[in-house]
Chain A
Amino acid sequence: MKARPLDIAAVGTLATAFVAGLVVPPDAVQGDLQRIMYVHVPSAWLAYLSFTVTLVASVAYLRWRSLRWDRIAGAAAEVGVVFTGLALATGMIWGKPVWGVWWTWDARLVLTAVMFFVYLGYLALRRSFDDPELRAHRSAVLGVVAVLQIPIVHFSVTWWRGLHQPPTVLRPDNPQIDAPLLFALLMSVAAFTVVFAALVKRRSEITAKEDEALRFQEAGATAGSDITAPTIGGGSS
């Protein structure tokens, strides 16, 4: 496996963000606990970003019918589901000491959970197809329909939670964010985004190779060639 500029950039920014996240002073209110935000916030951002990429790539596939777009849509969803899961996990880990519970039914948390399951459904659908063209077509339709529902899910969840505010043990009421902390946060968002791009690129290349391997297999296998005359019954002609 050859390292390429994007991979190098991903590793570089990630290392920088990692160091930045560790060396900045702890948060005035939450202390070291706040450092989990350097993972949580960029993960949540990637959850949204990958949905958007899946939507755009799905529309592009339906428009141009090029499997390239389908691979990008699938790769973005695969990488997205990991980061959505990470956003959920880190959110819960952070929420336990701050709010006193793992799960608070906070609007954003619920929305992220719904997105997580929408992704899982989309990926489960993709796995079910053997035929790349069919996979591309059907999942593009789901990609568009599902992602268009996300804003509606967002509003419905926000309205729903607007009615009952969740009880909080310790509300982080701290709109002022220090410059070093802000820098570390932005750095981590940038790093995660580059990592996302690198992973999506790698993943779609792998899918392309898989599809190619399938084609290669075709060359030797025409319909009917795996079936030969029975060797019993004496029917040779």
Chain B
Amino acid sequence: MNLRNQIATLMRYELRDELRGGEVGFVVLPFGVVALLTIPMAIGIDTPLLQRIGPGIYWSIILLFGVLVTQRHSSLAPPATRDMLRLAGADPVARFAATTLATFLLLLAFEVGAGFATMALYDPALDSWWWLAALLPLTAAGLSMIGTIAGNIASGLEARTSLVPLIVVPIAVPLLLGAAQATEGLRVGAGILRWLLLLAIVDTVLAVAGVLTARSLEESAA
């Protein structure tokens, strides 16, 4: 089976497993929305202030809760299943790509869902909304790749669920800055190309790193 078919097959089943389990849709997304709801409660109801900081809060939530999306149960097959796929001849690169793509789509859905919640709760005003069509996928791609790599690095560890966010979040700082500054640019009508470029560079570096380390990480499976 060529690489593309393997990726498509693995991704399809992984997504199906996730959608039936419903972890992202029924757990992570509501949790993220609750977080969006608590912040105005903590800092006070100042509508102009909330309008201004809404996008920044949104991206923080995406980064912090997006890590949970990347570590959903369906992204990490149990050891027996991993062995089975290895023996069946699934390419480690295909497995990395399939998990990343599935996570990417789920993160994108998470971003859209949390985005609507932010619009409702914070009422941010952007000059142009169209750029979000580039911004959301670029950010989701980077986060899904960091999450998948970190998940593989920490696979099999008991401390995995608390360890991965600590590994991911500092490394994902450029994604947060890129996305938040680009959105800020859209709000005040400034140029955002350099931030999109930054996101594209981060994504490219991560894609190369993910592909290069996929085999090596699988070899070290405990």
Contacts and interface: CB of A to CB of B under 8 A. Distances in A.
User: Is any CB of A less than 8 Å from a CB of B in the complex?
Assistant: yes
A160 B166 contact: no
Given A120-B166, A145-B213, 19 more contacts: A114-B173, A121-B170, A124-B167, A128-B154, A128-B157, A128-B163, A137-B220, A141-B149, A141-B153, A142-B150, A145-B149, A145-B209, A149-B202, A152-B201, A159-B181, A159-B194, A160-B177, A160-B181, A163-B181
Given A141-B153, A156-B198, A131 B167 contact: no
Nearest to B172: A149
A87 interface: no
Given A137-B216, A138-B217, A155-B198, A121 B167 contact: yes
Given A131-B222, A149-B171, A124 B166 contact: yes
The 4 A-B residue pairs whose C-beta atoms are closest, nearest first, are A156-B174, A117-B170, A121-B167, A137-B220
A129 B156 CA distance: 10
B46 interface: no
Contacts of A33: none
Interface in A110-129: 114, 117-118, 120-122, 124-125, 128-129
Instruction: Output the residue of B171, B195, B201, B202 with the most chain A CB within 10 A.
Output: B171
B163 A152 contact: no
B169 A117 contact: yes
Interface of A: 62, 114, 117-118, 120-122, 124-125, 128-129, 131, 133-134, 137-139, 141-142, 144-146, 148-149, 152-153, 155-157, 159-160, 163
Interface residues of B, number: 31
Contacts of B150: 142
A145 B158 CA distance: 22
A54 B31 CA distance: 37
Instruction: Output the residue of A117, A131, A139, A141 with the most chain B CB within 10 A.
Output: A141
A143 to B, nearest CB: 10
Nearest to B217: A141
Interface string B199-222: 001100100010001001101101
A74 B69 CA distance: 30
Interface of B: 149-150, 153-154, 157-159, 163, 166-167, 169-171, 173-174, 177-178, 181, 194-195, 198, 201-202, 205, 209, 213, 216-217, 219-220, 222
A33 B150 CA distance: 42
A142 B153 contact: yes
Nearest to B190: A163
B166 A121 contact: yes
B191 to A, nearest CB: 11
Contacts of B178: 156
Contacts of A117: 166, 169-170
Contacts of A152: 174, 198, 201-202, 205
Nearest to B198: A156
Nearest to B175: A156
Nearest to A139: B153
Nearest to B169: A117
Given A131-B222, A141-B217, A159-B198, A149 B174 contact: yes
A148 B209 contact: yes
Contacts of B219: 137
A157 B195 CA distance: 11
Contacts of A149: 171, 174, 202, 205
A157 B177 CA distance: 8
Contacts of A142: 150, 153, 167
B153 A138 contact: yes
A53 to B, nearest CB: 19
